[in-house]
Amino acid sequence: MKKMKWLSGLLLMMILFNGMFVFADVAYPEPTREFYVADFAGVLSQEVRNAILRANLNYEKTKERPQIVVATVPNLQDLEINQYAVGLFEKWAIGNKSYDNGVLLLLALEERRVWIEVGYGLEGAIPDGKAGEILDAAVPALSQGNYSEGLLRAFYLLSQETNKEYGYENGAILGTYPPTEINQGAAGQRIPENRGVPAIFRIMGILFILLLLWLDHRFLGGFFLGMFFRMILFGGRGGRGGGGFGGGSSGGGGRSGGGGAGRGF
Protein backbone atom coordinates (compact mmCIF):
# COMPACT_ATOMS: atom_id res chain seq x y z
CA MET A 1 0.00 0.00 0.00
CA LYS A 2 2.81 2.38 0.87
CA LYS A 3 4.57 1.53 -2.39
CA MET A 4 1.42 2.26 -4.41
CA LYS A 5 0.96 5.55 -2.58
CA TRP A 6 4.56 6.51 -3.34
CA LEU A 7 4.22 5.60 -7.03
CA SER A 8 0.95 7.54 -7.33
CA GLY A 9 2.56 10.59 -5.77
CA LEU A 10 5.57 10.34 -8.09
CA LEU A 11 3.34 10.07 -11.17
CA LEU A 12 1.26 13.04 -10.06
CA MET A 13 4.40 15.09 -9.44
CA MET A 14 5.73 14.35 -12.95
CA ILE A 15 2.43 15.28 -14.60
CA LEU A 16 1.98 18.51 -12.65
CA PHE A 17 5.55 19.67 -13.12
CA ASN A 18 5.44 18.91 -16.82
CA GLY A 19 2.24 20.96 -17.21
CA MET A 20 3.66 23.87 -15.23
CA PHE A 21 6.89 24.02 -17.23
CA VAL A 22 5.07 23.87 -20.56
CA PHE A 23 2.89 26.78 -19.42
CA ALA A 24 5.89 28.79 -18.19
CA ASP A 25 7.87 28.24 -21.39
CA VAL A 26 5.43 30.27 -23.50
CA ALA A 27 7.38 33.48 -24.10
CA TYR A 28 5.07 35.96 -25.79
CA PRO A 29 7.07 38.67 -27.58
CA GLU A 30 6.98 42.27 -26.48
CA PRO A 31 5.11 44.61 -28.85
CA THR A 32 7.15 46.45 -31.44
CA ARG A 33 7.76 50.19 -31.28
CA GLU A 34 5.12 50.68 -34.00
CA PHE A 35 2.80 48.35 -32.02
CA TYR A 36 0.27 47.95 -34.84
CA VAL A 37 2.63 45.85 -36.99
CA ALA A 38 4.73 43.09 -35.46
CA ASP A 39 6.34 41.12 -38.29
CA PHE A 40 8.42 38.72 -36.21
CA ALA A 41 8.37 36.15 -39.04
CA GLY A 42 9.74 38.70 -41.51
CA VAL A 43 7.16 38.18 -44.26
CA LEU A 44 5.60 41.64 -44.75
CA SER A 45 6.72 44.29 -47.22
CA GLN A 46 7.46 47.79 -46.01
CA GLU A 47 4.56 49.11 -48.08
CA VAL A 48 2.09 46.85 -46.29
CA ARG A 49 3.57 47.68 -42.91
CA ASN A 50 3.15 51.38 -43.67
CA ALA A 51 -0.47 50.90 -44.81
CA ILE A 52 -1.39 49.10 -41.58
CA LEU A 53 0.38 51.68 -39.47
CA ARG A 54 -1.20 54.61 -41.32
CA ALA A 55 -4.73 53.26 -40.88
CA ASN A 56 -4.23 52.75 -37.15
CA LEU A 57 -2.78 56.22 -36.73
CA ASN A 58 -5.99 57.51 -38.32
CA TYR A 59 -7.96 55.47 -35.79
CA GLU A 60 -6.07 57.28 -33.04
CA LYS A 61 -7.79 60.50 -34.15
CA THR A 62 -11.27 59.08 -33.51
CA LYS A 63 -13.29 59.04 -30.32
CA GLU A 64 -13.43 55.24 -30.04
CA ARG A 65 -9.76 54.68 -30.98
CA PRO A 66 -10.04 51.03 -32.13
CA GLN A 67 -6.83 49.10 -32.80
CA ILE A 68 -6.26 46.46 -35.48
CA VAL A 69 -2.90 44.81 -34.89
CA VAL A 70 -1.22 42.50 -37.41
CA ALA A 71 1.36 40.07 -36.01
CA THR A 72 3.36 37.29 -37.62
CA VAL A 73 5.36 34.78 -35.58
CA PRO A 74 7.79 32.02 -36.61
CA ASN A 75 5.88 29.42 -34.55
CA LEU A 76 3.31 29.01 -31.77
CA GLN A 77 5.57 27.42 -29.14
CA ASP A 78 3.47 24.23 -29.09
CA LEU A 79 0.19 26.07 -28.43
CA GLU A 80 -2.98 26.05 -30.51
CA ILE A 81 -3.19 29.28 -32.49
CA ASN A 82 -6.35 30.43 -30.69
CA GLN A 83 -4.63 29.98 -27.32
CA TYR A 84 -1.58 31.89 -28.51
CA ALA A 85 -3.76 34.66 -29.96
CA VAL A 86 -5.66 35.15 -26.70
CA GLY A 87 -2.43 35.24 -24.69
CA LEU A 88 -0.82 37.76 -27.04
CA PHE A 89 -3.99 39.89 -27.17
CA GLU A 90 -4.17 40.08 -23.39
CA LYS A 91 -0.44 40.72 -22.95
CA TRP A 92 -0.49 43.60 -25.42
CA ALA A 93 -3.90 44.89 -24.19
CA ILE A 94 -5.11 45.59 -27.72
CA GLY A 95 -7.97 48.05 -28.09
CA ASN A 96 -9.39 51.00 -26.19
CA LYS A 97 -10.07 50.03 -22.58
CA SER A 98 -13.37 51.92 -22.60
CA TYR A 99 -14.68 50.01 -25.64
CA ASP A 100 -12.63 46.75 -25.74
CA ASN A 101 -12.46 47.30 -29.49
CA GLY A 102 -9.20 45.65 -30.44
CA VAL A 103 -8.58 43.11 -33.19
CA LEU A 104 -5.55 40.86 -33.60
CA LEU A 105 -4.72 39.32 -36.97
CA LEU A 106 -2.13 36.62 -36.27
CA LEU A 107 -0.17 34.45 -38.71
CA ALA A 108 2.00 31.51 -37.62
CA LEU A 109 4.49 30.68 -40.35
CA GLU A 110 5.67 27.23 -39.28
CA GLU A 111 2.18 25.90 -38.54
CA ARG A 112 0.71 27.65 -41.61
CA ARG A 113 -2.22 28.98 -39.61
CA VAL A 114 -3.90 32.37 -39.47
CA TRP A 115 -6.31 33.61 -36.80
CA ILE A 116 -8.49 36.63 -36.07
CA GLU A 117 -9.06 37.43 -32.39
CA VAL A 118 -11.75 40.02 -31.64
CA GLY A 119 -12.26 42.19 -28.57
CA TYR A 120 -15.57 42.25 -26.69
CA GLY A 121 -16.64 45.57 -28.15
CA LEU A 122 -16.38 44.47 -31.79
CA GLU A 123 -17.87 40.99 -31.50
CA GLY A 124 -21.16 42.31 -32.88
CA ALA A 125 -19.46 43.89 -35.89
CA ILE A 126 -17.06 40.98 -36.50
CA PRO A 127 -18.72 37.76 -35.29
CA ASP A 128 -17.01 34.41 -35.79
CA GLY A 129 -18.73 33.80 -39.11
CA LYS A 130 -17.68 37.16 -40.51
CA ALA A 131 -14.12 36.64 -39.31
CA GLY A 132 -14.09 33.29 -41.11
CA GLU A 133 -15.30 34.89 -44.35
CA ILE A 134 -12.57 37.50 -44.11
CA LEU A 135 -9.94 34.80 -43.75
CA ASP A 136 -11.43 32.87 -46.68
CA ALA A 137 -10.72 35.92 -48.83
CA ALA A 138 -7.10 36.03 -47.64
CA VAL A 139 -6.22 32.31 -47.78
CA PRO A 140 -5.62 32.01 -51.56
CA ALA A 141 -2.83 34.58 -51.42
CA LEU A 142 -1.41 33.15 -48.20
CA SER A 143 -1.35 29.61 -49.61
CA GLN A 144 0.80 30.88 -52.49
CA GLY A 145 3.26 32.53 -50.13
CA ASN A 146 1.96 36.05 -50.82
CA TYR A 147 1.77 36.93 -47.14
CA SER A 148 1.76 40.69 -47.63
CA GLU A 149 -1.16 40.53 -50.05
CA GLY A 150 -3.16 38.07 -47.97
CA LEU A 151 -2.74 39.84 -44.65
CA LEU A 152 -3.39 43.26 -46.16
CA ARG A 153 -6.60 41.93 -47.72
CA ALA A 154 -7.73 40.64 -44.32
CA PHE A 155 -6.70 43.90 -42.66
CA TYR A 156 -8.75 45.95 -45.16
CA LEU A 157 -11.81 43.83 -44.55
CA LEU A 158 -11.44 44.04 -40.77
CA SER A 159 -11.01 47.79 -41.07
CA GLN A 160 -14.10 48.14 -43.25
CA GLU A 161 -16.24 46.24 -40.73
CA THR A 162 -14.84 48.38 -37.92
CA ASN A 163 -15.52 51.55 -39.89
CA LYS A 164 -19.08 50.42 -40.54
CA GLU A 165 -19.60 49.82 -36.81
CA TYR A 166 -18.49 53.33 -35.83
CA GLY A 167 -19.62 55.24 -38.90
CA TYR A 168 -16.14 56.09 -40.17
CA GLU A 169 -15.49 56.79 -43.83
CA ASN A 170 -13.23 54.14 -45.35
CA GLY A 171 -11.29 56.82 -47.19
CA ALA A 172 -10.61 58.73 -43.97
CA ILE A 173 -9.06 55.63 -42.40
CA LEU A 174 -7.59 53.70 -45.32
CA GLY A 175 -6.68 56.64 -47.55
CA THR A 176 -6.45 55.98 -51.28
CA TYR A 177 -6.10 52.21 -50.98
CA PRO A 178 -8.80 50.40 -52.98
CA PRO A 179 -11.71 48.82 -51.11
CA THR A 180 -11.70 45.05 -50.76
CA GLU A 181 -14.71 42.78 -51.04
CA ILE A 182 -15.03 39.69 -48.87
CA ASN A 183 -15.47 37.35 -51.84
CA GLN A 184 -12.76 38.95 -53.96
CA GLY A 185 -10.03 36.45 -54.77
CA ALA A 186 -11.55 33.67 -52.73
CA ALA A 187 -12.02 31.49 -55.83
CA GLY A 188 -14.55 29.37 -53.99
CA GLN A 189 -11.82 27.92 -51.81
CA ARG A 190 -12.72 27.34 -48.19
CA ILE A 191 -10.15 25.90 -45.83
CA PRO A 192 -11.60 23.86 -42.95
CA GLU A 193 -11.72 25.95 -39.84
CA ASN A 194 -10.03 25.00 -36.62
CA ARG A 195 -11.56 26.75 -33.64
CA GLY A 196 -9.34 25.01 -31.13
CA VAL A 197 -9.98 21.99 -28.95
CA PRO A 198 -13.31 20.15 -29.52
CA ALA A 199 -15.77 20.19 -26.62
CA ILE A 200 -15.37 16.47 -25.84
CA PHE A 201 -11.64 16.89 -25.32
CA ARG A 202 -12.21 19.93 -23.12
CA ILE A 203 -14.53 17.86 -20.94
CA MET A 204 -12.01 15.03 -20.80
CA GLY A 205 -9.31 17.52 -19.86
CA ILE A 206 -11.41 18.92 -17.02
CA LEU A 207 -12.14 15.42 -15.71
CA PHE A 208 -8.44 14.56 -15.89
CA ILE A 209 -7.52 17.67 -13.91
CA LEU A 210 -10.15 16.83 -11.29
CA LEU A 211 -8.68 13.33 -11.02
CA LEU A 212 -5.21 14.78 -10.48
CA LEU A 213 -6.54 17.11 -7.79
CA TRP A 214 -8.23 14.18 -6.05
CA LEU A 215 -5.04 12.11 -6.15
CA ASP A 216 -3.06 15.05 -4.77
CA HIS A 217 -5.56 15.52 -1.95
CA ARG A 218 -5.91 11.79 -1.24
CA PHE A 219 -2.26 10.77 -1.21
CA LEU A 220 -0.26 13.98 -0.78
CA GLY A 221 -2.52 16.21 1.29
CA GLY A 222 -2.78 18.88 -1.43
CA PHE A 223 0.98 19.46 -1.52
CA PHE A 224 1.32 20.12 -5.26
CA LEU A 225 -1.85 22.20 -5.51
CA GLY A 226 -0.55 24.49 -2.79
CA MET A 227 2.83 24.73 -4.47
CA PHE A 228 1.21 25.55 -7.80
CA PHE A 229 -0.80 28.43 -6.31
CA ARG A 230 2.32 29.77 -4.61
CA MET A 231 4.08 29.80 -7.98
CA ILE A 232 1.22 31.75 -9.53
CA LEU A 233 0.97 34.27 -6.69
CA PHE A 234 4.65 34.89 -6.13
CA GLY A 235 6.48 33.63 -9.17
CA GLY A 236 4.68 35.43 -11.98
CA ARG A 237 4.27 34.15 -15.53
CA GLY A 238 7.42 33.06 -17.25
CA GLY A 239 6.48 34.61 -20.59
CA ARG A 240 6.12 38.16 -19.42
CA GLY A 241 9.60 39.32 -20.30
CA GLY A 242 10.31 36.90 -23.11
CA GLY A 243 10.49 37.10 -26.84
CA GLY A 244 13.56 39.24 -27.29
CA PHE A 245 11.88 41.39 -29.94
CA GLY A 246 12.01 44.62 -27.94
CA GLY A 247 9.93 47.76 -28.28
CA GLY A 248 7.40 49.58 -26.14
CA SER A 249 3.67 49.15 -25.83
CA SER A 250 0.87 51.31 -27.19
CA GLY A 251 -1.99 49.07 -26.12
CA GLY A 252 -5.11 50.78 -24.86
CA GLY A 253 -6.02 48.25 -22.17
CA GLY A 254 -8.51 46.27 -24.23
CA ARG A 255 -9.50 42.65 -23.63
CA SER A 256 -10.15 39.71 -25.90
CA GLY A 257 -13.76 38.63 -26.25
CA GLY A 258 -12.80 35.00 -26.73
CA GLY A 259 -14.36 34.94 -30.19
CA GLY A 260 -12.61 34.60 -33.51
CA ALA A 261 -11.89 32.32 -36.41
CA GLY A 262 -8.93 30.50 -37.88
CA ARG A 263 -7.85 28.96 -41.14
CA GLY A 264 -5.01 26.85 -42.47
CA PHE A 265 -3.17 27.83 -45.61
Spatial distance between the Cα atoms of 125 and 69, rounded to a whole number of angstroms: 17
Mean local confidence (pLDDT), 233-249: 36
Least confident of 58-72, 86-100, 171-185, 193-207: 193-207
What integer best gives the mean pLDDT of the chain? 79
Beta bridge partners of 113: 108, 264
Q: What is the pLDDT of residue 127?
A: 96
Give residue-wise pLDDT tens across range 196-221.
Answer: 445 565 577 677 777 777 776 666 66
Spatial distance between the Cα atoms of 149 and 137, rounded to a whole number of angstroms: 11
What residue ranges of the chain are covered by domains with CATH 3.10.310.50?
A: 37-181
Q: What is the pLDDT of residue 177?
A: 63
Q: What is the pLDDT of residue 193?
A: 41
Contact 67, 95 (CB under 8 A): yes
Contact 191, 139 (CB under 8 A): yes
pLDDT confidence band for 13 (50 / 70 / 90): low
Mean local confidence (pLDDT), 181-206: 50
Least confident of 165-179, 217-231, 242-256: 242-256
Q: What is the pLDDT of residue 248?
A: 38
Contact 216, 12 (CB under 8 A): yes
Percent of the chain surpassing pLDDT 90: 58
For the cut 90, the answer to whether the pLDDT of residue 84 exceeds it is: yes
Mean local confidence (pLDDT), 69-74: 99
Mean local confidence (pLDDT), 51-68: 97
End-to-end CA distance of the chain: 54
Mean local confidence (pLDDT), 229-237: 43
CATH number of the 37-181 domain:
3.10.310.50
Contact 67, 102 (CB under 8 A): yes
Q: What is the pLDDT of residue 258?
A: 76
pLDDT confidence band for 93 (50 / 70 / 90): very high
Residue 147: closest CA among 71, 88, 87: 71
